Amino acid sequence: MSPGKITVREAISQALWEEMEADPKVFIMGEEVGVWGGTYAVTKGFYDHFGPKRVKDTPIAEAAIVGGAIGAALTGLRPVAELMTINFAFSAMDHIVNEAAKLHYMFGGQFVLPLVIRAVGGGGRQLGATHSQTPDAVFAHFPGLKVVAPGTPADAKGLLKSAIRSDDPVLFIEHATLYQQRGEVPEGDFTVPIGRSTVQRQGKDVTIVTYSKMLEISQKAAEQLSVEGIEAEIVDLRTLRPLDMEPVIESVKKTNRAVVVEEGWKSFGVGSEVAARIYEQAFDYLDAPVQRVAQLEVPLPYNRNLEQLALPKPEWVIKAVREVL
């Protein structure tokens, strides 16, 4: 499989197209996914190729989208339900956390739920406080629901293909500002296993744990730190539930220092969970307290300057690294 450089948008589109070609039970449903080709142009051309039975435009009703997808999954289809933004998932919260996440368990394993919910998350696009949130930790809280948030084109394609093939419900979070990011993506039937963290950058002085958009921010910070002779190792979680801490713990045992970087708010967030597990599993290896970098604790402003002031940036990561060193 030779790699090629494509965008995150193209990677997601390829994954959807290939899985729909391979399995007639896979179909897409959501607002403007058909004739319009998707709010972020991910499904452009799908309607003409696969037709209205497999690319379904829906009303503006997230509860209906997710509820309908759950019903389809229970009867043997493999729906990919697109939510225009993860903020709208709150309108379907009961379906997601009380039905999709629990039906397999509550019926003693008699049903499987091969359901993927694609949702755009994150800030940085001036969409206002109610459309720019990063509530990943909220959904990762619930057992029975897999939560995936890739930070590279390769992981976006490989993880989405794995999600579509999974018999479990998966919330697949795509960051709003990553669609144009380019990277190497292997060609052919390429998949990435759900629930496996990975080391994206080797280092010896400090471990940076992150995921999604913050991988890019952390990599920029690591490059600047490298100029000063500080080599940061970056562990990309990729999946928030199930959370794979093994590469994190192994890295911390090597570097003896950790910084956790997330876009969501620090209070009760992904970073809180990761830091707690580091303390539980690698306390004796730490030479400094774990530092956390996160969005400022305010509803994200619409004004571009204020929005950028609230979002984590490489300078914040560099400051946290210097503190643990």
- Dump pLDDT digits (tens) for 227-285: 999 999 999 999 999 999 999 999 999 999 999 999 999 999 999 999 999 999 999 99
CATH of the domain at 210: 3.40.50.920
Among 2-11, 209-218, 254-263, 312-321, the minimum mean pLDDT is found in 2-11
Q: State whether 59 and 182 are in the same domain.
A: yes
d(CA 243, CA 238): 9
Which residue segment(s) compose the domain that 86 sits in? 3-186
Where is the domain boundary, 151, 186, 221? 186
Q: How many domains does the chain have?
A: 2
Q: State whether 267 and 242 are in the same domain.
A: yes
Asked, for residue 34, whether it belongs to a domain, the answer is: yes
208 closest CA partner among 239, 244, 232: 232
Residues annotated as part of the active site: 62, 131
156 closest CA partner among 169, 174, 171: 174
Q: State whether 176 and 60 are in the same domain.
A: yes
CATH of the domain at 132: 3.40.50.970
Q: State whether 118 and 256 are in the same domain.
A: no
- Extract the tokens encoding 113: 């739920």
pTM over 0.85: yes
Give yes or no for a contact between 323 and 291, defined as CB atoms under 8 angstroms apart: yes
Q: State whether 30 and 161 are in the same domain.
A: yes
| The pLDDT of residue 94 | 97
- Dump pLDDT digits (tens) for 70-125: 999 999 999 999 999 999 999 999 999 999 999 999 999 999 999 999 999 999 99
Asked, for residue 192, whether it belongs to a domain, the answer is: no
